[in-house]
Amino acid sequence: MSEKTKQVAKWHGAFKKATDFDSWGQLVEAVDEYQMLSRQLRKEGSSSDSRTFTDDQKRILSKVSTCLDLRSQALQAAHGTSLEDSLSLEELKKVEPMLKNLLDANPEEFPVQVSHFSPVRRPAGPEVDISVLNLDGEEEEEEETRGERSTPTTPKPTSGSLLPRLPPEPGMTNLTMRIERIGLKDAGQHIDPYVTVSVKDVSGIDLTEPQDTPIASKKEDPYVYFNVDVEIQRHVEKMPKGTAIFFEFKHYKPKKRMTSIKCWAFMEMDELKSGPASIELYKKPTDFKRKKLNLLTVKPLFLELYLTLTKD
């Protein structure tokens, strides 16, 4: 396999990773991946080295880079802002074959007219690595990337989006999960923290509408306290094999003016038993398919829950 072929395959893999994050609703991670790949493609597209890619191929790379920037811009738009002039995920996915088949002798016409969209502001300044790992094995929060483009967003509303208890059905079991607290070494530093709870099948597809808790009731190192009940919107008996319930701890980052995931946890079907439960925390990004699990910390800090199963 040639170096060009390897490079294109690597770019295509990064493209798929970013659009997967986007489709799963992991917008912070999607933006990071889009921006990283866009910089790589833009650099190659503007290269004067004739030994790498042809002029036609470089033009395609530049257009793909612009599409990635447009999608990133859409995801960072403020809540309530019209995105009519922004690139949708469906439109971006039309670009994927152009990148995957970049080395084809006769590339087809580019599927997106990038000139139809609003101009994209290019990030300026040096590239900065935005995450580090400390000696305790915990992932540090990203620092604001110099020159990074960001659009103001509002912090999470305090009311959350919790749903009422499911109506009773004969022979069916309702599940109530009380989120009591989460242990973090820097618990008191998180702004407007909340938890998104979602129920996913083995492929990572939503089985119910995700729910957001209200903002935490108290922060007192090393814990963030919630003490809130979440009514799972599917009876236990109706959950297919491989179902898991996910908990994503999120908080507002004023420097980047966006909400970010700090860590996540999950419970599988065989763990659903009435009583207290302490579950491990994992580093982001959230992997709804549960293939790559990396503990957030080696310290004894967990998400602490209390489960109530009620059979009608």
Per residue, the 3-state secondary structure of 199-228, as one string, reads EECCCCCECCCCEECCCCCEEECCEEEEEE
pLDDT digit string (tens) for 202-232?
989 999 999 999 999 899 889 999 999 999 9
Mean pLDDT of 264-284: 94
φ, ψ dihedrals at 260, nearest 5°? -130, 150
Mean pLDDT of 241-249: 96
d(CA 263, CA 140): 11
Going across the sheet that includes 223-231, the strands are 218-220, 223-231, 173-183, 303-311, 275-279
d(CA 292, CA 283): 10
C-beta atoms surrounding 128 within 10 Å: 12
Q: Is the pLDDT reported for residue 39 higher than 60? A: yes
Residue 240, token pair as written in the block: 């297919």
Element at 23 (helix H, strand E): helix 3-24
pLDDT digit string (tens) for 58-114?
888 988 988 998 888 888 764 333 344 578 888 899 999 999 988 875 666 788 876
pLDDT at residue 46 in the model = 77
pLDDT-derived band at 51, boundaries 50, 70, 90: low
Q: Is the pLDDT reported for residue 297 higher than 60? A: yes
- 28-51 as b/e, with b when 16 or more CB fall inside 10 Å? bbbbbbbbebbbbbbebbeeeeee
pLDDT at residue 1 in the model = 66
Q: Is the pLDDT reported for residue 146 higher than 70? A: no
In DSSP terms, 82 is beta-bridged to: none
Q: Is the pLDDT reported for residue 116 higher than 80? A: no
pLDDT at residue 129 in the model = 31
From residue 221, alpha-carbon distances to 157, 183, 271 in Å are 23, 8, 28
Q: Which of the listed ranges 20-29, 40-49, 115-124, 225-234 does the model predict with the highest average pLDDT? A: 225-234
**What is residue 291's three-state secondary structure?**
coil
C-beta atoms surrounding 73 within 10 Å: 22
Mean pLDDT of 123-147: 35
> What is the percent of the chain with per-residue pLDDT over 90, rounded to a whole number?
43
pLDDT at residue 115 in the model = 57
pLDDT at residue 259 in the model = 87
d(CA 99, CA 95): 7
Q: Which of the listed ranges 87-96, 162-171, 174-183 does the model predict with the highest average pLDDT? A: 174-183
**pTM of the prediction?**
0.55
Pairing of strands 303-311, 191-200: unpaired
pLDDT at residue 114 in the model = 65
pLDDT digit string (tens) for 152-164?
344 444 567 899 9
d(CA 156, CA 193): 8
Query: Average model confidence (pLDDT) for the chain?
Result: 81
**What is residue 131's three-state secondary structure?**
coil
What domains appear along the chain, each with residue ranges and CATH number?
3-116 (1.20.120.360), 173-311 (2.60.40.150)
d(CA 303, CA 266): 9
Helix axes 55-75 and 3-24, enclosed angle (nearest 10) = 20
Provide CB contacts within 8 A for 261, sequence distance 6+: 26, 28, 29, 248, 249, 250, 284, 285, 286
Q: Is the pLDDT reported for residue 30 higher than 60? A: yes
Mean pLDDT of 115-124: 46
Mean pLDDT of 9-24: 91
Mean pLDDT of 297-307: 92
d(CA 216, CA 41): 41
pLDDT at residue 108 in the model = 65
